[in-house]
Amino acid sequence: MTQSPTDRPVLVLNAGSSSLKYQLVVPESGEVRAAGLVERIGESGSEVADHSGALEAMRSQLQDAGIRLDEVPLRAVGHRVVHGGPDFSEPVVIDDGVLDRIKALSALAPLHNPAAVIGIEAARKRYDVPHVAIFDTAFFSSLPTEASTYAVPRDLAAKHSIRRYGFHGTSHQFVAHATAELLDRPVEDLRQVILHLGNGCSASAVRGGRAVETSMGLTPLQGLVMGTRSGDVDPGLHAYLAREAGMSLDEIDTLLNKKSGVLGLSGVNDFRELVQRVEAGDDDARLAFDVFVHRLKHYVGAYLAILGGADVLVFTAGIGQHSAPVRAAVAAGLGELGISIDDALNEAGSTEARVISPFGSRVVVAVVPTNEELAIARQTADLVG
């Protein structure tokens, strides 16, 4: 008996430098047949030497769960790739030429793209099905020029592909559509401000389903305060640290990407722990929380101006979906702008997409779970048919 395509799952892979996240998803139904994580790839003492070993570890994890991957009729493999640079504004089937172009973008995302390339190479050797790259930047390729352009000399920007790219695009796009569904309105009719607050955090302004602004830039360091990333700082900070603290460029890069943000201010990067410390009266945690929220308000205000008012403000990802105190603090004092929250709705512990503003509010405030794996699986399936 032949299986219809709708029974055949897509393997979604998200390769980091030392980890591999995977899901086996049926795109039409959203059914997750399996999901897991291989960690500590290539670290000393780890049994997983490289990404090829990680795929082997995944196969054995799946086997333990009763799934023989070699016998699963895979439709395709969808790979999350962080940076699509100026080349890729849509999902693409990976061939040797595409892989070379993704490699060439590694200068723009040295922390991310090389790992994706290694993951793709290992997976292509193993699975003889179409492989598709889904780019975190793609949704933001629609940014108007005035939003994507940095005010630096144009010839230099052109030579080095310097512009605002934006990241988390797969999530923002998914959530924009899921929000329209929740409100039972066409996405074309909506002006949305979307806050993706997870380990990485980003905001977007979306008009009619198209992104018109976003907080991340050339790299995922710009914008909101994150778990370990500073987000916006004065660009003069780099030269100042180099001169005054004698730091190298790599040290400054590591400082701002890995040791700053909520972690740098409070000593913890997990938001659950941060909120517990705030409640216990920890001053550093309080400051980190307040800086985090202040930056969010800054962007909400900016995007209301960019959009000329919003129909909906959406919270998503780990913190956005689960932290009622963050949502309450962001909305506090914004009544004049049409934004308010119903405390009971905000605090109801639901995992479903839902509205948390009072009935009849000018701006609907919503909590909408993101699902990047499902989005990747669907885009992959759409492309390979």
Closest to ligand AMP by CB, 61 vs 199, is 199
Nearer to ligand AMP, 171 or 361 (CB): 171
Ligand-binding annotation for 80, yes or no, is yes
Count CB neighbours of 31 within 10 A: 12
Residue 16 C-beta: closest distance to ligand AMP, Å: 12
Which residue among 19, 199, 254, 257 contacts ligand AMP (CB under 6 A)? 199
Q: Look at the alpha carbons of 141, 215, 347, 260 in this order and tell me if their dihedral is positive or negative.
A: positive
The residue number whose beta carbon is nearest to ligand AMP equals 318
Tell me how far, at minimum, the Cβ of 8 lies from ligand AMP, in Å. Answer: 28
Q: Is 202 in the site for ligand AMP (CB under 6 A)?
A: no
User: What is the spatial distance between Cα 186 and Cα 359, in angstroms, rounded to a whole number?
Assistant: 20
Q: Which is nearer to ligand AMP, 255 or 317 (CB)?
A: 317
Given 70, 100, 136, 290, the catalytic residue: 136
Distance, in Å, from the CA atom of 1 to the CA atom of 123, rounded to the nearest integer, reads 28
What are 198's strand-pairing partners? none
d(CA 385, CA 363): 38
In 48-112, where does DSSP find H-type helix? 51-64, 96-104
Evaluate whether 131 touches 161 at the Cβ level (below 8 Å). Answer: no
Asked if 19 interacts with ligand AMP (CB under 6 A), we say no
Find out whether 196 is annotated in a ligand binding site.
Answer: yes
- Judged by CB under 6 A, which of 228, 266, 323, 357 binds ligand AMP? 323
198 binds ligand AMP, rule: CB under 6 A: yes
Q: Give me the residue label for tokens 């949502």.
A: 327
Q: Which is nearer to ligand AMP, 148 or 202 (CB)?
A: 202
Q: Which two tokens stand for residue 228?
A: 């370990």
Stretch that binds ligand AMP, among 55-63, 93-101, 215-223, 319-327 (CB under 6 A): 319-327
269 among annotated binding-site residues: no
Query: How far apart are the C-alpha atoms of 299 and 304, rounded to whole Å?
Result: 8
CB count in 10 Å sphere of residue 324:
18
Residue 322 binds ligand AMP (CB under 6 A): yes
Picking from 295, 334, 292, the residue whose alpha carbon sits closest to that of residue 313 is: 334
272 is in an annotated binding site: yes
200 carries a ligand binding annotation = yes
Residue 250 known to be catalytic: no
Closest CA to 200 of 12, 10, 16, 36: 16
Which of the residues 205 through 244 are near ligand AMP (CB under 6 A)? 227
Show contacts with ligand AMP in window 237-276 (CB under 6 A): 270-272, 275
* Residues 273-292: x where in contact with ligand AMP by CB under 6 A, - otherwise, as a string: --x-----------------
Q: How far apart are CA 121 and CA 261, in angstroms?
A: 33
Say what the alpha-carbon torsion angle 158, 163, 168, 172 is, to the nearest 10 degrees: -110
Is there binding between residue 317 and ligand AMP (CB under 6 A)? Answer: yes
With contacts defined by CB under 6 A, how many residues of the chain interact with ligand AMP? 12
CB of 245 or CB of 332, closer to ligand AMP: 332
DSSP state, residue 232: S
By beta-carbon proximity to ligand AMP, the closer residue of 14 and 361 is 14
CA 224 – CA 218 distance, rounded (Å): 14
139 is in an annotated binding site: no
d(CA 31, CA 350): 20
Q: Which residues are catalytic?
A: 136
Which residues are near ligand AMP by CB under 6 A?
198-199, 227, 270-272, 275, 317-319, 322-323
Q: Which residues are annotated as a binding site?
A: 14, 21, 80, 196-200, 270-272, 372
